[in-house]
Structure 1
Amino acid sequence: MAEIVHDFFPLMRVYKDGRIERLMGEGFVPPESDPETGVQIKDIEIDPQINLSARLYLPKNVDTVQKIPLFVYFHGGGFVIESASSPSYHKHLSTVAAEAKVVIVSVNYRLAPEYPLPIAYEDTWLALKWVASHANGDGHEPWLKDHADFNRVYFGGDSAGGNIAHHIAIRVGLEKLDGVKLEGIFLACPFFWGKDPIDGEGENLGAKGFVEKLWLFANPNSSGLDDPLINPEKDPKLSSLGCDKVLVYVAGKDPLRFRGFYYKEALEKSGWPGTVEVVEVKDEEHVFHLFAPEAENGMAMSKKLVSFLNQS
């Protein structure tokens, strides 16, 4: 039997001969209109040279010149699995596009270990610059040119995608994007951690070991769990977050939940002037809304996200 050198069950395994076996997140849904919601869906290439692409969602009954909010989404998967065309994202984002009446760009960034961090952050920034090119009419994608309201832009993501959404929002705050106003970010069970245990983390050293191993595997040049990329509290640029509103969801049975609350504290202490809300859903696991979108808690989260995307 082939020798395993990295075992991240249930996500992936890496063998001594270099073979990478992804155990989850390999499902693919073609970019076809969703029959239940009538949402139109298509895949577009942003930069074919680096295989950077995105999946776009447009709700039905949008007038030819009607401008609606834009939601840029970053999928989760520990930076090592999943894609914008995974079944769980397809379902979740079709529902959000239909109910919130928003245009969605779901970014398909490259994964570690083939493309170690910070490549995922660079890919998502490139994708965002491509999106922003439509604000002044330079871009050529009609769904964005005709329908995206660049004064009502939101970012979102789950797990590693929540981590990405946070960092890209900081970059927007620091570098600005012409013609784009970032209203808020939505983080579901965000992938944050830190070197020193907080709250109940000390009771689950197995989780810490797994997170640390996975983080250093995805980002081999990282300084560890106090790297600002995984521990926002250590980021001197935290107060530069480029939006006014943050909505964070944490799950009661998720080892990452303590960091969701801690993120709120760190943001408020940093001098960032916006408002942050944390919603805890008891008795649920990590990214529960993707595994059971039609269950009561999954639907309640979708409803809350829809109102968040429509409050400006």
Structure 2
Amino acid sequence: MNSKTSELAHDFSPFLRIYKDGHVERLKGIEVVPPSLDPKTRVQSKDVVYSTEANLSSRLYLPENTTPTQKLPLLVYYHGGGFCVETAFSPCYHNHVNNLVAEANVIAVSVDYRRAPEHPLPVAYDDSWAALKWVASHAHGDGPEEWLNRHVDFGKVFLGGDSAGANIAHQLALRFGQERLEGIDNIKGIILVHPYFWGIEPIGNEERDPEKRKVIDGVWYFACPTTGGNDDPLINPLLDPKLATLGCNKVLVAVAGNDALRERGWYYCEELKKRGWRGKVEFVEANGENHVFHLENATCENAVTLLKKISSFINDD
């Protein structure tokens, strides 16, 4: 039975539809672009397998004019898409990471992870951790990928992402605070752009209409069907007893003024301070903008400002 004859089970338009026969129809994030030498930024990229068992790859990025022995900060980036759509190879993410690498002069590893509903959470977290372990295997200069062996300063490792990818970056920093990793002594910072955090009870000026909240609630249950609800610490870090153990030195949270998730980002920063976490917290807001606006309009003034802010966060010692 195909999607033309099967009944809809879940309709998350304009992102995806799920049919009762199990068929998944993604409506967004299905286009991919190959790695390249980007003509605008002159950033070079290539795809490298980080998990042969799951056949998962990351896209690596090298900025222009990198000398053979030059050591640069590393940004491990996790894409957004509600854990369900988009990939590291989507045009919007390929372009965004090219711009980040050129602006900040960093090496980047853009991680592709398995998505719900075929692979419900915590698969995306586990894949993302496996990618970070693969990155760490290069710390002594004898890993399988020469760009990482030659050019990464493993004393300057950053995790970042937008939306669901920011959620992943946060969760990995928490896990690093508990477990650590052979080869990475410290995560210098995490960059959370429009982080996908939520909760059962509205906070601040957050949307209170039950029907509108129900839509956002449903996405989390869809991605993580074994969850206890929208106060699960995986989606509501304000209720996570481990929050103060966040394993990094500093945090940058960027929000958009018109984003339904805006309040969660602001309260996350405040809660980090209250819990006694000893790192530095930075908060930046783009007034009048919507969720992940910078991916849709990378040249607008607020997107350029955000790019420069991320660059200074990475390079400010």
Q: TM-score, normalised by structure 1?
A: 0.98
Aligned sequence identity (%): 55
Which amino acid in structure 2 is aligned with residue 225 of structure 1? N
Question: What is aligned with 2:112?
Answer: 108
SS in 1 for 2:205: helix
Deviation string 1:103-136 (CA, Å, 9 cap, x unpaired) is 0000000000000000000000000000001012
CA–CA separation in structure 1 for the residues paired with 2:215 and 2:57 = 30
| C-alpha contact (below 8 Å) 1:204/1:255 kept by paired residues | no
- What is the deviation of 1:234? 1.4
After TM superposition, give the deviation of residue 6 of structure 1 in Å: 0.6
Correspondence 1:148 to 2:164: no
Paired position in structure 2 for 1:235: 240
Q: Compared with structure 1, are the counterparts of its residues 254 and 205 closer, same or farther at alpha carbon in structure 2 (3 Å cutoff)?
A: farther
Provide, for residues 260-295 of structure 1, a one-character-per-residue CA deviation record: whole Å limited to 9, x for no partner: 011112211221101212211111110011110111
| Whole-angstrom CA distance in 1 between matches of 2:121 and 2:142 | 30
Q: Contact between 2:50 and 2:134, CA under 8 Å: does it hold in 1?
A: yes
Further displaced range: 66-75 or 24-33: 24-33
Alignment partner of 2:48 out of 44, 47, 50: 44
Count of matched residue positions in the alignment of Structure 1 and Structure 2: 312
Whole-Å Cα distance in 2 between the matches of residues 204 and 107 of structure 1? 35
Structure 2 unaligned segments of length 5 or more: list them. none
CA distance in 1, matches of 2:69, 2:239: 44
Q: Which amino acid aligns with 2:280?
A: T
1:265 equivalenced with 2:270 (yes/no)? yes
Q: What is the aligned counterpart of 2:132 among 116, 128, 136?
A: 128
**1:15 to 2:19 alignment:** yes
Give the TM-score normalised by structure 2.
0.96
2:203 corresponds to 1:198: yes
Question: Could you say what secondary structure the match of 1:56 adopts?
Answer: strand
What is the deviation of 1:47? 1.2
After alignment, is 104-113 or 193-202 more displaced?
A: 193-202
8 Å CA contact retained: 1:129, 1:177: yes
Q: Greater CA deviation, 10-19 or 173-182?
A: 173-182
SS across alignment from 1:200 = coil
One-letter code of the match for 1:290? L
How many angstroms does 1:138 deviate by? 3.6
Structure 1 ranges of 4+ moved more than 6 A: none
Within-5 A mapping of 1:42-121: 42-121=46-125
The gaps in structure 1 that reach 5 residues or longer are none
- Residue type of the partner of 1:296? E
Q: Provide the rounded CA distance (Å) in 1 between the counterparts of 2:272 and 2:92.
A: 30
Counterpart secondary structure, 2:206: helix
Return the offset for 1:178. Answer: 2.9
SS in 2 for 1:62: coil
Does the CA contact (< 8 Å) of 2:191 and 2:252 recur in 1? yes
1:217 equivalenced with 2:257 (yes/no): no
Aligned residues of 1:207 and 1:255 also touching (Cα < 8 A): no
Secondary structure, in 3 states, of the residue corresponding to 1:199? coil
Aligned counterparts of 1:36 and 1:119: Cα–Cα separation in 2: 35
Query: Which residue of structure 2 lines up, in the alignment, with residue 306 of structure 1?
Result: 311
Distance 2:127 2:8 in 1: 29
- Structure 1 residue 51: deviation in Å? 2.3
- Partner-residue secondary structure (3-state), 1:2: coil
Q: Provide the secondary structure at the position in 2 that maps to 1:203.
A: coil
Residue number in structure 2 paired with 1:253 = 258
Higher alpha-carbon deviation: 292-301 or 270-279 = 270-279
1:294 is matched with 299
Q: Which letter does structure 2 place at the counterpart of 1:219? A: C
